[in-house]
Amino acid sequence: MTGIGVVSPLAIGVDAFWAGVQAGKSGVAPIETLEYIPVPQQIGGEVKDFNAAKYVKQKKSIKVMCREIQLGVASASLALEHAAIEEGSIDPERLGVDFGANLMLSPPKDLARACFACVDEASHRFNYDQWGRQGLSDMEPLWLLKYLPNMPACHIGIAADARGPNNSITLDEASGNLVLGEALRVIARGHADMMIAGATGTRLHAVKSIHAAMWDELAAPVADPATACRPFDLARTGQVVGEGACTLILEEETHAIARGASILGRILGAGSSCVLDRAGRPNITRALVLAMRSALNDARISPRDVGHINAHGLGTPVADRLEAAAIHEVFGDYAPDVPVTALKSALGNSGSGCGVLELAGSLIGLAHGVVPQTLNFQTPDPDCNLNVVAGAPLASSNRVFMKLSVTRLGQASVIVAAGA
């Protein structure tokens, strides 16, 4: 890895992001700039003061980018800059893109005019028969391009003149680790020398936040919003929605050395799994166990070689317990001792955007010799029995760590990485 681009609720850019993590700051706060979000207390991990025009080269393209796409493109631009890649300095045929995203949904305002055009005057009900003749003509001509989950990779490929492999993965929170694993294998197969790999996502959305309120355990109201997300703490009550994006530049080692790049870390292995029973019910613990073992096998290391775990750490009573059970099954008697950090405590859950963003927290932290802390952890939960890093970053000389991600549908992805 030779470049990192961060767009997060804590800050934009590597240095500002790390300053926030190191100081124990939280990006969870009252929502200020986005539309009404129907979640408790109107709080979330919101990216403040974001201006896409500062990062997107093709300014005309911004009008066909929803906010998630803008965040992703911005993170890729920052990563390329951080990797000191100048335009034309890389063979475009050997530069690829692998990017993760949520399913992107249109906010009601984008559909309102067309929908009202199809309302029957007599019954005041929506008439589907009128959509083709009256509704569709009131839609923006390029409306669909704003909400296709493959568009972050497309825009990034155009901006970076990346003509190598280009792929998109849409698997909610599991997306980030999956794109890193796939990008790693694209390079290993010799199909590219460098991959722009990252993910973008949001749950701070007029429709998605309704889904969160219907399907998920959200954190109960608290006096201080910054304390709402409490992964693995006995008093945890639920997750907090958020938004964010992060991109890593993955590069074949000899290629990086030849161009004099600074090597920030290495992807050692990747694993994934999805476990459902015959009735379609997810088994999150089993999925994480299989994904962790696969990643360890791919990296050719044992659990004892892992210096810390960067957990999914959703902050819900059930999900944290299931994740902890998976860690205990894989790590055995080492499980109560291996340091665990959970950065959703400071960022909220951005869906597809969270995995790479949280992994970057560990990667940057290890560059400073520490494991980032988990915010709001005060009372250990005996049902989890984990060594949660809290109160301050933990000094560590072990550069190897494991990043866990899992969806509520039992889709798990794991990356084993090492800081430089």
CA angle 367, 326, 26 (to 5 degrees): 45
Residues 195 and 269 in one domain: yes
The pLDDT, as a whole number, for residue 33 is: 84
Q: Is residue 104 helix, strand or coil?
A: coil
The pLDDT, as a whole number, for residue 73 is: 98
Mean pLDDT throughout 87-93? 88
CA angle 124, 125, 130 (to 5 degrees): 110
Mean pLDDT throughout 122-126? 90
Model confidence at 114: pLDDT above 80: yes
102-106, 137-141, 298-302, 314-318: which has the minimum mean pLDDT?
Answer: 137-141
350-394 confidence digits (pLDDT tens): 999 999 999 999 999 999 999 999 999 999 999 999 999 999 999
Residues 93 and 134 in one domain: no
Residues 136 and 157 in one domain: no
Residues 131 and 256 in one domain: no
334 lies in which domain range?
3-104+148-419
Residues 135 and 212 in one domain: no
The pLDDT, as a whole number, for residue 186 is: 98
Mean pLDDT throughout 325-337? 98
> Model confidence at 341, in pLDDT bands (50, 70, 90)?
very high
CB atoms within 10 A of CB 90: 21
Model confidence at 10: pLDDT above 90: yes
The HSE-up count of residue 175 (CA atoms within 13 Å, CB side) is 30
Domain termination residue (choose one: 92, 121, 144): 144
The pLDDT, as a whole number, for residue 141 is: 83
Residues 156 and 200 in one domain: yes
Alpha-carbon distance 108 to 195, whole Å?
Answer: 36
Domain termination residue (choose one: 95, 118, 144): 144
Question: What is the percent of the chain with per-residue pLDDT over 70, rounded to a whole number?
Answer: 100
Model confidence at 226: pLDDT above 90: yes
The pLDDT, as a whole number, for residue 109 is: 87
Residue 71: what residue type? L
The count of structural domains within the chain is 2
Mean pLDDT throughout 404-415? 98
Query: What is the sign, positive or negative, of the torsion defined by CA atoms of 252, 256, 257, 261?
Result: negative
Residues 292 and 249 in one domain: yes
Mean pLDDT throughout 197-226? 94
> Model confidence at 275, in pLDDT bands (50, 70, 90)?
very high
Cβ contact 204:224 at 8 Å: no
Model confidence at 287: pLDDT above 90: yes
> Between 339 and 123, whose confidence is greater?
339
Residues 9 and 137 in one domain: no
Alpha-carbon distance 220 to 222, whole Å?
Answer: 6
Considering the chain, what is the average pLDDT of its residues? Answer: 95
The pLDDT, as a whole number, for residue 57 is: 85
Nearest-Å Rg of the Cα atoms of the chain is: 21
What CATH number corresponds to the domain at position 27? Answer: 3.40.47.10
Say how far residue 331 (Cα) sits from the centre of its chain.
25
Residues 6+ apart with CB under 8 A from 380: 232, 233, 234, 386, 388
The pLDDT, as a whole number, for residue 260 is: 94
The pLDDT, as a whole number, for residue 72 is: 98
Alpha-carbon distance 56 to 46, whole Å?
Answer: 20
Model confidence at 133: pLDDT above 90: no
